[in-house]
């Protein structure tokens, strides 16, 4: 049942975006400077454009859904995109550096990558998107295609 739901979801995305989803992955942490998502974002590539979106994460304990707090903010879906042709650089930064959202984040050296949680900084001329990717090398391969 889950596999059929996933196929239907991908088919809907392809119809909506007007092309085949060639690459897809999941980022476990995301920031575009204005928005931060701690629980993951679905990232996919259609016709040279990387799209991203998140899903509502219902609170649960051991897989059992629990009631939302009364004062919890209402969920607003995050959606966005960037053209892979506009990406100038991809490099690792510490999560703390990404959370500061400076215009020129410092690259994580080997020691920082060993000691701290790191995310990929995807630099474009006008913005930086931070993704904690499962496989940064595969993402870079998609940029080079």
CATH of the domain at 44: 2.30.29
- pLDDT greater than 70 at residue 2: no
Give the total number of structural domains in the chain: 1
Element (H, E) at 88: strand 87-94
**Helix %, strand %, coil % for the chain, to 5?**
30, 35, 35
Q: What is the pLDDT of residue 3?
A: 79
DSSP-assigned beta bridge partners for residue 51: 44, 81
Q: Would you say how long the chain is, in residues?
A: 145
pTM: predicted TM-score of the whole model, two decimal places: 0.86
* Nearest C-alpha neighbor of 51 from the set 104, 102, 98, 14: 14
Alpha-helical (H) ranges within 18-135 are 95-100, 110-115
**Residue 23 sits in which domain range?**
2-144
SS (HEC) of 108-130: CCHHHHHHCCEEEEEEECCCEEE
- pLDDT tens-digit series, residues 74-104: 888 899 999 999 999 999 999 999 999 888 8
């Amino acid at each position: 049942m889950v596999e059929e739901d996933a196929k239907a979801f991908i088919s809907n995305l392809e119809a909506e975006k007007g092309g085949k989803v060639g690459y897809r992955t999941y980022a476990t942490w995301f920031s575009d400077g204005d928005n931060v998502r701690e629980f993951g974002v679905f990232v996919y590539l259609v016709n040279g454009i990387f799209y991203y979106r998140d899903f509502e994460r219902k609170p649960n304990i051991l897989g059992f859904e629990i009631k939302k707090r009364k004062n919890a903010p209402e969920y607003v879906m995050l959606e966005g995109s960037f053209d892979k042709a506009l990406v100038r650089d991809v490099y690792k930064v510490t999560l703390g550096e990404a959370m500061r959202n400076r215009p020129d984040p410092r690259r994580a050296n080997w020691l920082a990558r060993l000691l701290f949680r790191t995310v990929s900084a995807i630099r474009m001329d006008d913005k930086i998107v931070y993704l904690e990717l499962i496989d940064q090398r595969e993402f870079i391969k998609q940029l080079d295609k």
